[in-house]
A = this chain, B = another copy of it.
Amino acid sequence: MSAPALTKNQALVFDVLEKADGPLSAYTILDKLRDHGFRAPLQVYRALEKLLEYGVVHRLESINSFVACAHPGENCHSHGIVAFAICESCSQVMEFHDHEVDHRLMDWTRGKKFKAEKTTIEIRGLCEACAA
Q: A-side interface residues toward B, CB under 8 Å? A: 61-62, 83, 85, 87-88, 94, 96, 98, 100-101, 104-105, 108-109, 112-128, 131
Contacts and interface: CB of A to CB of B under 8 A. Distances in A.
A108 B121 CA distance: 13
Contacts of A131: 113-115
Contacts of A121: 105, 119-121
Contact of A125 (B88, B100, B115): B115
A121 to B, nearest CB: 5
A128 B113 CA distance: 5
A131 B114 CA distance: 8
Contacts of A108: 83, 85, 96, 98
